[in-house]
């Protein structure tokens, strides 16, 4: 999923949380989603760096 879809997802869940009164749950889910997104991007960056050094060693 791209960041645009994350934004749309957060807006939809935010609107639903306003109607149900679960604002704190919405905030906590937002924090968890941002943390997981950050972990995912960091792991992708590490994977790309490891792949680049691995291919340099083969040549």
Contact 41, 3 (CB under 8 A): no
Q: pLDDT tens digits, residue range 9-51?
A: 778 888 888 888 888 888 888 888 888 888 999 999 999 999 9
What distance in Å separates the CA atoms of residue 14 and residue 16, rounded to the nearest whole number? 5
Q: Domain total for the chain?
A: 1
List, in order, residues 6 or more apart from 42 with CB less than 8 Å away.
Answer: none
Q: Which domain holds residue 19?
A: 3-58
pTM: 0.62
């Amino acid at each position: 999923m791209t960041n645009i879809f994350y934004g749309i997802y957060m807006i939809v869940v935010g609107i639903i949380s306003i109607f149900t009164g679960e604002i704190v749950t919405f905030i906590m889910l937002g924090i968890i989603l941002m943390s997981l997104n950050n972990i995912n991007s960091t792991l992708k960056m590490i994977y790309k760096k490891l792949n680049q050094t691995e291919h340099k060693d083969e040549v």
